[in-house]
A and B are shown apart, each in its own frame.
Chain A
Amino acid sequence: MVEQLAIDLVEWLAGYSQLVASGLVFSSIVVLGSIGLALVYSVGDFPNFAHGDLMTVGAYTAVVVNVILGFHLAIALVVAMVATAFVALGTDKLVFRPLQGKPIELLITSIGVAFAYRALLLMGFGPSSRSYDVGGRGGIDWVRETFGVTVTPRQAVIVLVTLALVTVLHIVLQYTTLGRMMRATAENKDLARVSGIRTAQVLAAMWLIGGALAGAGGVFLGLELVVRPRVGFSILVVLFAAVILGGIGSVYGAMLGGFVIGMAHEMAGLFGDISDALPLLPGFGSEYGAAVAFVLMILILVVKPSGIIGGKTSA
Chain B
Amino acid sequence: MSQSDSTPFGDRLKPALERLFAAVGSLWLRYEKGLADRYETLRGAQLTGEERRVLAVVGISLAAVVALLALNPVDAVVPLPVPSLTVPFVVSTLAIAGMYLLLTLGLNVQWGYAGLVNFSVIAFWGIGAYSGALLAGSGSPHELELHPLYGLGLAVVLSVVLAVAIGLPTLRLRADYLAIATLGFSEIIRIIILNEEWLTDGGLGVGGIPTLLSTWPFSLTEPVMAALANLTGAQPRTVFDLFLVMAVVLAVFLVLRRTQLSPWGRVLRTIRADEDIAQALGKNSYWYKMQAFVLGSVIMAIAGWYYAHHVRFMTPGELEPIETFYIWVAVILGGSGSNRGAIIGGFTVVIILQGTRLLNETVDWILFFVTVDASALRLLLVGLLVIVVVRLRPEGILPPQREHIWPGALSERDGGEDK
Contacts and interface: CB of A to CB of B under 8 A. Distances in A.
B179 A297 contact: no
A315 B184 contact: no
A226 interface: no
Contacts of B375: 122
A109 B184 contact: no
Interface in B355-407: 370, 372-373, 375-377, 379-380, 382-387, 390-391, 394
B176 A107 contact: yes
A248 B181 CA distance: 14
A51 B170 CA distance: 22
Given A291-B191, A294-B184, A116 B383 contact: yes
A112 B383 contact: yes
B301 interface: no
Interface stretch (A78-86, A132-140, A143-151, A235-243): A235-243
A290 B187 contact: yes
A184 interface: no
Interface string B71-107: 0000000000000000000000000000000000000
A7 interface: no
Secondary structure at the B interface, as helix, strand, loop or mixed, is: helix
B142 to A, nearest CB: 16
B9 to A, nearest CB: 54
Interface stretch (A11-19, A62-70, A95-103): A95-103
Secondary structure at the A interface, as helix, strand, loop or mixed, is: helix
B176 A290 contact: no
B373 A127 contact: yes
A55 to B, nearest CB: 16
A315 B325 contact: no
Interface residues of B, number: 48
B20 interface: no
A153 interface: no
A174 interface: no
Given A107-B179, A108-B117, A118-B379, A113 B387 contact: yes
B180 interface: yes
A116 B184 contact: no
Interface in A1-59: 46-47, 49
17 contacts: A47-B180, A99-B390, A103-B175, A103-B176, A105-B390, A111-B383, A116-B383, A116-B384, A119-B383, A120-B380, A122-B379, A298-B181, A305-B172, A305-B173, A305-B177, A313-B173, A314-B173
9 smallest CB-CB distances across A and B, nearest first, come from A112-B386, A115-B383, A119-B380, A116-B383, A122-B376, A119-B379, A112-B387, A294-B184, A237-B184
